[in-house]
Amino acid sequence: MASIKVTDITLRVAGESGEGIITTGEILTLAATKLGLNMCNFRTYPAEVTGGQSLYQVRLGLENNLSPWDSMDILIAFDATSFNAHIKSLHDRGLAVYDPDLHSPSSEARPSFSLYGLPMTSISKEKVGVARTKNMVALGAAANILSIPLGIVSGLVQKRFKGVEKNIDALKLGFEHSEKNSPIRYEFPKLKISPTKIFQNGNIAIALGAIAAGCRLYAGYPITPSTTIMEFLSRELPKFGGAMFQTEDELAALSAVIGSSFGGVKSMTATSGPGFSLMAETLDLASMAEIPAVIVDVQRAGPSTGMPTKTEQGDLNAALYQGHGDAPRIVLAPANVEDCFYLTIKAFNLAERLQMPVILLSEQSLSDRGEMIEKPDLSKIQVENRLRPDYARVARTGSYKRYEVTKDGVSPMAIPGDKYGIYISESLERLENATFSYEPESHQMMMAKRLLKLKKAEDEPNMTRTFPAGNKKADLGVVSWGPSEGAVREAVAKANVAGKKVSSLHVLMLSPLPVKQIKPYLESVDKVIVAELNATGHLSNLLTKTFLMNLIPLRKTTGLPFTTNEVYERIMEMVP
């Protein structure tokens, strides 16, 4: 067995859905965290419970990994279909693991990579006696190939599948077979495990951010790929005095959030594209009644049901414009797992401070993506609450103006039960004292008040990131949003190594656009590529309308995220 020293490696497990592909990848990833490795992973799976192809890809390294990478060093294919579908993405000097019980790769399909036949089917059936332990055989072999001690992996398996000893038997047999037969073994330098880092995925980071921000009611309806947020909060919110409320549909979910927030409780819902469409009228109500609400949209490929388990950035137009009339809302989009935590807190703070709905646009590729992140220091997190009335003043004047016109558009918000804070909050236009009014002057005054709050949000700091840092002169710039940032940054770094002057700008707030932060960057580059996972260029069109400039599209609608090489090739086309 050849031993290869590595500092960065990518492994992909692929096979039929229902064979434990995702479980294999998840346990292997957790085992790698025990060695102190950084990682970034990606998974894709069919919408059906069984049938169809699944894959789990994890990139392990000494440094923070920005993306799951393009090609791989190790492929573990459970069947011939998976092998043939993914072998073209394997490095020339990589390792392909296949099941000789099911197929034998032809000699023509063997360039310069190494082949290792791991009889997963026969080991699980004949030696373990349980066919469904095939993935544990693969997990054991993968652990040995990556030089992960068997004890670490077996401990994680026992924790996940308590009392199922056949899994441990299969794991050991896979490990031993690999030790004797694998042509390659990869070794990382010994690392100190950082006590300040934790492993987390996007959806759970959003849920944790909501708890840290003071959310105490979650109302929602299950929909892929947002459901794990609801499942996590159903267990954890009661520990903080909160509650999870499963409603009959998404319209009812946002209605419950608005009602709870009206009562003074920070509240949130999460959904995906089809559910977000159902929330249109209620989203307008939150905007009109000036009630704080946080809505998470974990985007998936559409339209309609589309591809429920595939990623896309196709909901930006809906987040910006869905509804009728001018209904202001704030739209934020995290790029990585750490963003999921902190931008969720930012979403609650903005909702409370400006008394309006805030939409957090995540997406499928980020929902299950796991990363090693710095453990948040909760003592440094600033949590904001809505402006409350000065009741001494209300008592003196004898009146409470819920929708009082102020310099920043924000009015004091009473809570039901406050002695002097009685008012009616409804969907009709009103006067400052909340009495409804159809007078032209009233509508114009209140519309200006609501839009003033959006103007205030435009000055929110740190809503963009540039790479390399600063607005240094470049021949080409790449603008991105959402989790495409990682692939873009790695492509930009690669282009600079190749002698090209390239930089990138990543936008975290999409409504309102942070114009004062974006404009200097656009002025610092000669040409601009806008990378986004949709067909019609949602962000590109918004930037064109705002800055009146020609932009170069980079779009993709395969249901998969951008790879570093896809972005790099587009860059090299534009700066030959």
Residues contacting residue 53 through CB under 8 Å, at least 6 positions apart: 14, 15, 16, 17, 46, 81, 82, 85
My answer on whether 66 and 84 are in the same domain is: yes
Which of 187, 219, 248 is the last residue before a domain boundary?
A: 187
Per-residue pLDDT tens digits for 270-306: 999 999 999 999 999 999 999 999 999 999 999 999 9
Of 413, 469, 427, 410, give the one whose Cα is nearest residue 327: 427
My answer on whether 417 and 556 are in the same domain is: no
Q: List strand residue ranges (DSSP E) for 123-262, in order.
A: 184-187, 197-201, 217-220, 243-246
For β-strands 330-332 and 509-511, DSSP reports them as: antiparallel
Q: What is the dihedral of CA 536, 539, 544, 546, to 10 degrees?
A: 140
Query: What percent of the chain is predicted at pLDDT more than 90?
Result: 85
Q: What pLDDT does residue 65 have?
A: 80
Asked if residue 204 belongs to a domain, the reply is yes
Which stretch of DSSP H or E encloses residue 274? Answer: helix 273-278
Q: What pLDDT does residue 63 have?
A: 83
* Structure-token pair, residue 471: 């607005």
Query: What is the rounded CA–CA span in Å between residue 23 and residue 9?
Result: 20
The CATH code of the domain that includes 230 is 3.40.50.970
My answer on whether 22 and 167 are in the same domain is: yes
Residues contacting residue 419 through CB under 8 Å, at least 6 positions apart: 391
Q: What pLDDT does residue 109 have?
A: 56
Q: What pLDDT does residue 422 have?
A: 87
Name the DSSP letter for residue 98.
Answer: E
Of 425, 430, 436, give the one whose Cα is nearest residue 449: 430
Per-residue pLDDT tens digits for 196-253: 899 999 999 999 999 999 999 999 999 999 999 999 999 999 999 999 999 999 999 9
Q: What pLDDT does residue 353 have?
A: 98
The CATH code of the domain that includes 494 is 3.40.50.920
**Residue 1 above 80 pLDDT?**
no
Asked if residue 260 belongs to a domain, the reply is yes
pLDDT, mean over the chain: 94
Q: What pLDDT does residue 485 have?
A: 97
Asked if residue 386 belongs to a domain, the reply is no
Using 50, 70 and 90 to split pLDDT, how confident is the model at 59?
very high
Per-residue pLDDT tens digits for 538-569: 999 999 999 999 999 999 999 999 999 999 99
My answer on whether 86 and 139 are in the same domain is: yes
* Structure-token pair, residue 373: 């992140």
My answer on whether 439 and 484 are in the same domain is: no
Helix, coil or strand: residue 273: helix
Which ranges of 361-400 would DSSP assign to H, the alpha helix?
A: 364-367, 391-397
Give yes or no for a contact between 400 and 423, defined as CB atoms under 8 angstroms apart.
yes
Q: How many domains does the chain have?
A: 4
Q: What pLDDT does residue 53 have?
A: 87
Residues recorded for the chain: 576
Place of tokens 């977000």: 276
Q: What pLDDT does residue 162 have?
A: 85
Per-residue pLDDT tens digits for 119-128: 999 999 999 9
Query: What is the rounded CA–CA span in Å between residue 386 and residue 513?
Result: 23
Of 231, 126, 122, 170, give the one whose Cα is nearest residue 20: 170
Q: What pLDDT does residue 183 have?
A: 94
* Structure-token pair, residue 42: 């990606």
The CATH code of the domain that includes 51 is 3.40.920.10
Per-residue pLDDT tens digits for 139-188: 999 999 999 999 999 999 999 998 789 999 999 999 999 999 999 999 99
Query: What is the rounded CA–CA span in Å between residue 6 and residue 410?
Result: 55
Q: Is the dihedral of CA 165, 169, 172, 178 positive or negative?
A: negative
Which of 331, 354, 380 is the last residue before a domain boundary?
A: 380
Give yes or no for a contact between 506 and 467, defined as CB atoms under 8 angstroms apart.
yes
My answer on whether 233 and 348 are in the same domain is: yes
Asked if residue 385 belongs to a domain, the reply is no
Give yes or no for a contact between 96 and 113, defined as CB atoms under 8 angstroms apart.
yes
- Average pLDDT on 490-507 reads 96
Q: What pLDDT does residue 111 have?
A: 63
Asked if residue 369 belongs to a domain, the reply is yes
DSSP per residue, 470-487 = S---EEEEEEEEGGGHHH
Using 50, 70 and 90 to split pLDDT, how confident is the model at 392?
confident
Q: Is the dihedral of CA 457, 462, 467, 470 positive or negative?
A: positive
Using 50, 70 and 90 to split pLDDT, how confident is the model at 44?
confident
Q: What pLDDT does residue 50 have?
A: 66
Query: What is the rounded CA–CA span in Å between residue 118 and residue 101?
Result: 8
Which of 439, 457, 475 is the last residue before a domain boundary?
A: 457
My answer on whether 208 and 344 are in the same domain is: yes
Which range of residues forms the domain containing residue 93?
2-187
Asked if residue 192 belongs to a domain, the reply is no
The CA radius of gyration of the chain, in Å to the nearest whole number, is 26
Helix, coil or strand: residue 453: helix
Place of tokens 């996007």: 202
- What does residue 425 show for φ and ψ, rounded to 5 degrees? -110, 115
CA distances for 481 relative to 21, 239, 370, 475, 484, angstroms: 30, 34, 19, 21, 6
My answer on whether 170 and 278 are in the same domain is: no
Buried b (16+ CB within 10 A) or exposed e, 160-191: eeeeeeebbbbbbbbbebbeeebebbbebeee
**Residue 49 above 70 pLDDT?**
no
pTM of the model: 0.95
My answer on whether 235 and 257 are in the same domain is: yes
Per-residue pLDDT tens digits for 87-125: 988 988 899 999 999 998 875 555 678 999 999 999 999
Buried b (16+ CB within 10 A) or exposed e, 272-284: bbbbbbbbeebbb
Using 50, 70 and 90 to split pLDDT, how confident is the model at 397?
confident
Which ranges of 34-104 would DSSP assign to H, the alpha helix?
A: 80-86
My answer on whether 280 and 344 are in the same domain is: yes
Query: What is the rounded CA–CA span in Å between residue 260 and residue 158?
Result: 41
Asked if residue 540 belongs to a domain, the reply is yes
* Structure-token pair, residue 467: 């790479």
For β-strands 197-201 and 370-374, DSSP reports them as: antiparallel
Give yes or no for a contact between 36 and 152, defined as CB atoms under 8 angstroms apart.
no
My answer on whether 291 and 428 are in the same domain is: no
My answer on whether 151 and 281 are in the same domain is: no
* Structure-token pair, residue 109: 């399909």
